Amino acid sequence: MAAEPRIVIAGAGAIGCFVGGLLAAGGRRVTLLVRPRVAQEIRSHGLTLTDFGGMAVQIGTDRLALSEDPACLARADVVLVTVKSGDTATIAELIDQHAPIKAPVISLQNGLRNGALLQEALPGHDVRGGMVPFNVVPMGQGCYHRATSGDVVIAGGAGDLEGLLSVPHLSTASSRDIEAVQWGKFLINLNNALNALSGLPLAEQLRDRAWRRLMADQWQEALGILRGAGIRPVSMTPVSVGVIPFILRLPTPLFSRIAASMLTIDAQARTSMALDLMAGRPTEIDSLQGAVIAMAKAQGRPAPICTMVAEVIRTAELAEEGLPDLSAAALRREIRQGSA
C-alpha cells in the first residue's frame, strides 16, 4: 500500500496552522514549516482548533510534524503556501531549492499576484491558485479559531487534490476558473481595511448601515475598475457580484436576514488586516486596495475610495498605535476632501 502523501504547509501562520491541523486530525501526513515562536507554542500546548459552530479539535505533536528548517520541503508530495503576500518571493525560492519538482504547489493566500509569482519562480512545478474564504484568529497558546464560514477552493488539475484536502470540518472543491473565484474573494477582502479602520468586530461593523454603504461604494468602485481591465469576478455566494452592493445598502433588519443565509460570522471576528494593525505588523494593503489603484491608473480612471482607504491604512501602519477607530462618516469626509 502506498504511503499517505506528505503535505507541507509552507509558512504556517494562522491559516496554515488551522488548515494543516485539521488535515492532520483527519489522518493526513502533515508537516508545518513554522517560525520558532509558533513551533514553541505548539510544542508546549499542542494545537487547538475551534470555530464559530462549537467545533473543538486538539492535535498533539505526535499527530503532525513541526519544522523550522525549509529542508523539510524535500519530503513534500504537496506544498500548501500560506505566507503573507510580502513573503511570497522568499518562500518560492525555498520551494525551488528544496521541494521535489513533482510536488504540486497550491497558493492559499490573499492577493491575486501570489499565484503568478509562484508560477514565475517555479517553472516545471504544478502551481495552482486557491481561495480560503474563512478567517482564522490566533488566540495564543497554540489555539486558532475559525471565525467565519466557507469552503476552500483550488484550481482543478491532475490528481484528486481536492479529495486529499477534504477532511472532517474542512471541505475543498476545485474550480476550472480559479482566477474568477479569487477575484470574487478579492472584492470581499477589500473590506479588510474598512474593518480595521472601524475598530469594530466584523459582525458589529456589518450591523452598521453607514459602514455597509461605504463597503458598497468601495465594491462598486473596484468592480467597475476590474471590469474595465477585462476581469469578471465570480461571487462566493448565490448572489451575483453586481447585486451585492444593493444588499449591503438595505436596512439593517432586512440585510441581517439575507446575510445570515449566506455567511456565518463569529461575534468577535475581525479581519486579518485589523489583526495585523493591532499587532503592529505590515498589512496587505498594497495587494488589495493598492491593486485597484494601479489598475485604475492604467485605465486613466479615479479610485478615490480605495486611494483614501490605502492612505489611512499606511498612516496607521507608520503610527503603530493599533486600530484607528474611525467612524464611517469621518472616513467618507476624508474621501470627499481627497477627491476634491
Taking the model in full, what pTM does it have?
A: 0.86
Asked if pLDDT for residue 178 goes beyond 70, the answer is: yes
| Dist CA 215 CA 221 (whole Å) | 10
Radius of gyration of the chain (CA): 20
Question: Model confidence at 261, in pLDDT bands (50, 70, 90)?
Answer: low
Compute the average pLDDT of residues 11-26.
94
| Dist CA 13 CA 20 (whole Å) | 10
Please state which of the four CATH numbers 1.10.287.3510, 1.25.40.320, 3.40.190.10, 1.10.1040.10 is assigned to the domain occupying 182-339: 1.10.1040.10
Domain limits of the chain?
6-176, 182-339
Which pLDDT value is given to residue 262? 65
Which pLDDT value is given to residue 1? 44
> Among 206, 339, 335, 176, which Cα is nearest to 270's?
206
Number of Cβ within a 10 Å radius of residue 260: 10
Using one digit for the tens of pLDDT, what is the confidence trace for 185-236?
999 999 999 999 999 999 899 999 999 999 999 999 999 999 999 999 998 7
C-alpha cell at 163: 479529495
| Dist CA 137 CA 146 (whole Å) | 6
Q: Which CATH superfamily is domain 6-176 in?
A: NAD(P)-binding Rossmann-like Domain (3.40.50.720)
Q: Report the percent of the chain where pLDDT is more than 90.
A: 75
Q: DSSP 3-state assignment of 267?
A: coil
